[in-house]
Structure 1
Amino acid sequence: MADVRFDGVRKVYDNGQVAVHGASFDIADGELMVLVGPSGCGKSTLLRMVAGLEEISAGTLSIGGRVVNDVAPKDRDIAMVFQNYALYPHMTVAENLAFGLKLRGHDKAEIARRVQAAADMLGLDGMLDKLPRAMSGGQRQRVALGRALVREPAVFLLDEPLSNLDAKLRHSVRTEIAQLHRKLGTTMIYVTHDQVEAMTLGQRIVVLNDGVIQQIDTPMALYERPANLFVAGFLGSPAMNTLRGRLQAATDGRFELDMGEGQRIPLGRPSMAPDWLGREVVVGIRPEHLQPGGGEAAFEALIESIEPVGNEMFVNLRHGARPLVMRVPPQALPAAGEGIGVAVVPAALHFFDAASGLRLEPGA
C-alpha cells in the first residue's frame, strides 16, 4: 500500500490546451478517493498521469514517497481497471487473471494462489474456465477487477469502471468495489462522472471542473457545505435550487430575497451576516428543504408536474418565471396546474456571492 501526492501537477497538451491546472492534494495510504466532475474536467487525465500513461507537464507526483514523474508505468506498482474491461477474448477467466503475472515471471504456484484468492473474493470460482463472451457485463467487470487484484499493487486505479453497466448492475458492482476496498485496505483512486457513485463510494471526493479542483472533502461535507455554486449544483439529485437576487430585511427579524420584477421569496430567519443586506447573492435551497405548507418563510408556487419515484416524489414548481424542485414523501398534493403553498427551511439555506460564486459564511 502507498500514499499518493500531487504537488502542483499540471498537464498541457501540444496544442496549448490545459487539461489540469496545478493540482495539489494528498491521498492517504489505504484511502478510497474519488475524482468526479463533468466530461472533459481533467479527472481521467489525472488518473492517467498516476498510471504513467500521460506525461506530467509540471509539478511532481509521488507514490509511496517516491517521485514517479519519469518512472515507467510497469515500475509504479499500480494496477488499472478500465471502463471497457480490456479482457483478452480468446482467454478464459483464469488465463486473463494469470496473464499479467506470467509476464512478470511469477512461478506457477504463486500464480495459482493469487488467481484462486481473487476468484474466491470476487465470486468467480465457478467461472474460471469461461470465455468473456459467455459472461454478463457485471461478471466481466469482476474479472477486470480480479486481474488488477492479483497484481497485489500499492495503488488501484479505476477509470469509470461501471459506465458500461445498466443501473442494477452498477449498484451491485459498486457494492462489490466498496466491500473489496474494506477487505484489502488498499489505496484506490476512482474516476467517475456519476455523482451517486462518488457520494456512495468515496471516503473523500475531489470535485473538478475545467481542469481546476473546486473542492476536496468527505461526501456529506460537500453536500452540506459546498464551497461554490459549481459544487452546489453538481452534487445532489435533483440539483440544488438556486435563486439570484438582493437580500432585504422584512419584519420581525425576518429576511427575504428580492429577485426583481415583483418576485420575492421569504427566507425566515436564516443565519446570515448583517453586511449581506442589499448585497446581490445566490440563495441555494436543496429540494428536500422545500416543503408543502405555510408560515413566515412560505410562498405560493404553481405545480407544473409531479414525479412519483417510489419512496418519494419530485414536485416541479414554478414561482413566477423561476423553476423549482421540491422533494417530499409520497402524499396527496394539488394536481398539476394548481397552486400550492411552499415553505422554506431557513436553517438549511446556502448563500453564495453572485459575482464570484463562492460560498458566504456568517462571520467569515
Structure 2
Amino acid sequence: MAVVRLEALRKEYPDGHVAVADATLEIADGELLVLVGPSGCGKTTLLRMIAGLEPITSGTLSIGGRVMNEVPPKDRDIAMVFQNYALYPHMTVAENLGFGLRLRGQHRHEVARRVREVARLLEIEPWLEARPVALSGGQQQRVALGRALVRNPRVFLLDEPLSNLDARLRLSMRLEIARLHRRLGATMIYVTHDQIEAMTLGQRIVMLDGGVIQQIDTPMNLYRRPANRFVAGFLGSPAMNFLPGTLRLADGWALDGPHGVLTLPGVAGWPASWDRREVTLGVRPEDLHPVDAPGLHTLSARVEVVEPVGNEVFLNLRTGGKPLVVRLPPRTLPEPGALVHLAPDPSMLHLFDAASGERIGD
C-alpha cells in the first residue's frame, strides 16, 4: 500500500472554470478516506486526477513518495471501481476478473490462482462461469470490486460504486466494502454524494463544495464541530436547523430573530464584542426538546407534517417563517396545526457568522 499526497492540486479548464482549487491533503497508508459533497463539487474530478484520467493544471500528486503528475494511469499501480461496472459482457466472471492480469503478461496459472482467491474472498465462486447479464446488480458490483482486488494495487479508487443499487443492496455492499478494507488494510479513496456512506465508511472525510475543501476530519468530529454552515447543513439527516438573528448581551446572551427572542442559558466565554453581531444559530433535530409551556429559553413552532419512520418520528414545523425539524422517539404526537414549544440543548448549539458562514466560538 502507499501514502497519497496532494499539494495545492488544481484543475482549471480552458474556459476558466476551476473544478478543483488547490487541494492539499494526505491519505495515510491503509486509510479509507471519503470525498463527499454535492454534485459538481469536484470530488470525481479530484479522484480522476489521482487516477491519471484527468490532467493536473498545477500542484503535485505523489503516491508512495513518487511524483505522479506525468505518469500514465497504467504505471501508477492503482485500481479504480467506477459507478457503472464496466464489465465485458462477452466474458465470463472469471475472464473479467483476470483480464487486467492477462494484459500485464501474468502466467495463466497465476491468473487462475488470483481469480480463485478473490472469488472466494467476495463469495462469488458460484458465478465464475456466468456472464455479467446473468448477475444481479449486487453481484455485478462484487465482480467489479474483484477485478480491482485481483491486481493487488497500492491504492484503490472507488467512484460512487453503490449509486446504482437499491437501498437494501447499498447497505449490504457498504458493509462488504468496510469488511474488505479491514481485512486488506488497503489504501482506499472513496467518492460519494451520500452522507450516510461517507459517515459509515470513512475513517476521515473530506468535505468539498465548489471545488474547495471545506473541512477534513473524522466523521463524528465533522458532525459535532462543523467548520462552517455548509458542512453543518450537509452532514446529518434530517439536516441541521438554522435560525438567523442578532446576538444581544444583557443579563446574558439572547438571539433576536424572526422566531422571537431566544435566551441562551449556559453560554459562557463569548466576548462582549459579539453584542449585536449578525449570526446563524444551528441546532440539530435531536437537540430540540419539547416542553409543556413557553418560556424565555424556548421556541414556539407550528406543526406542519408528522413523519413516523418506525423507531423515531420527525416533526416538520415552522417558526418565524423558517422551517424547523425535530427528531423524537415514538410516542403520542401533536397533530398538524398544533403549536409546540421547544427548548434547545444549550451544550449542543452551533454558531456561524451570518456573512461568511464560518463557525465562531468553540
Q: TM-score range by the shorter chain?
A: over 0.9
Residue deviations 1:157-199 (CA, integer Å, cap 9, x gap): 0000001011111000010000000000010000001111000
- Report the AA paired with residue 8 of structure 1: A
- Report the AA paired with residue 283 of structure 2: I
Deviation, structure 1 residue 305: 1.0
Residue deviations 1:290-332 (CA, integer Å, cap 9, x gap): 1111565223211111101111111011112111000011111
Describe the SS at the equivalent of 1:300.
Answer: strand
List 4+ stretches of structure 1 deviating above 3 A. none
**2-structure distance, mates of 1:264, 1:316:** 21
**2-structure distance, mates of 1:124, 1:74:** 27
| Other-structure match for 1:299 | 299
Describe the SS at the equivalent of 2:117.
Answer: helix
Deviation, structure 1 residue 250: 5.7
Describe the SS at the equivalent of 1:45.
Answer: helix
Deviation, structure 1 residue 271: 4.2
| Other-structure match for 2:191 | 191
Aligned residue runs from structure 1 range 163-178, under 5 A: 163-178=163-178
Percent of residue pairs bearing the same amino acid type: 65
| Other-structure match for 1:268 | 265
Q: Does the Cα contact within 8 Å between 1:270 and 1:349 map onto a contact in 2?
A: no
Q: Does the Cα contact within 8 Å between 1:297 and 1:345 map onto a contact in 2?
A: no
| Other-structure match for 1:117 | 117
User: Structure 2: 5+ residue runs without aligned partners?
Assistant: none
Deviation, structure 1 residue 102: 0.4
**1-structure distance, mates of 2:117, 2:263:** 60
**2-structure distance, mates of 1:242, 1:319:** 11
Describe the SS at the equivalent of 1:199.
Answer: helix
**2-structure distance, mates of 1:134, 1:113:** 24
Q: Does the Cα contact within 8 Å between 2:261 and 2:296 map onto a contact in 1?
A: no
Describe the SS at the equivalent of 1:246.
Answer: strand
Residue deviations 1:244-300 (CA, integer Å, cap 9, x gap): 11112364x4x321015x722333223451332221111000000011115652232
**2-structure distance, mates of 1:296, 1:224:** 26
Q: Does the Cα contact within 8 Å between 1:303 and 1:339 map onto a contact in 2?
A: yes
**1-structure distance, mates of 2:169, 2:269:** 44
| Other-structure match for 1:47 | 47
Alignment of 1:286 onto 2:313 = no
Describe the SS at the equivalent of 2:118.
Answer: helix
Report the aligned-residue RMSD.
Answer: 1.2
User: Structure 1: 5+ residue runs without aligned partners?
Assistant: none
Residues 149/175 of structure 1: CA separation in 2 closer, same or farther (3 Å cut): same
Q: Does the Cα contact within 8 Å between 2:262 and 2:296 map onto a contact in 1?
A: no
Describe the SS at the equivalent of 1:268.
Answer: coil
| Other-structure match for 1:244 | 244
Q: Does the Cα contact within 8 Å between 2:6 and 2:23 map onto a contact in 1?
A: yes
**2-structure distance, mates of 1:271, 1:304:** 35
| Other-structure match for 2:332 | 332
User: Greater CA deviation, 334-343 or 164-173?
Assistant: 334-343
- Report the AA paired with residue 20 of structure 1: V
Residue deviations 1:28-82 (CA, integer Å, cap 9, x gap): 0000000001111110011001110000000000000000000010000000000
**2-structure distance, mates of 1:271, 1:330:** 34
Aligned residue runs from structure 1 range 1-364, under 5 A: 1-249=1-249, 251=251, 253=252, 255-260=253-258, 263-275=260-272, 276-294=274-292, 297-362=297-362
Describe the SS at the equivalent of 1:189.
Answer: strand
- Report the AA paired with residue 276 of structure 2: G
Q: Tell me the matched-pair count.
A: 359
**1-structure distance, mates of 2:63, 2:74:** 13
**2-structure distance, mates of 1:200, 1:94:** 31
Q: Does the Cα contact within 8 Å between 1:266 and 1:299 map onto a contact in 2?
A: no
User: Greater CA deviation, 295-304 or 162-171?
Assistant: 295-304
Q: Does the Cα contact within 8 Å between 2:244 and 2:281 map onto a contact in 1?
A: yes
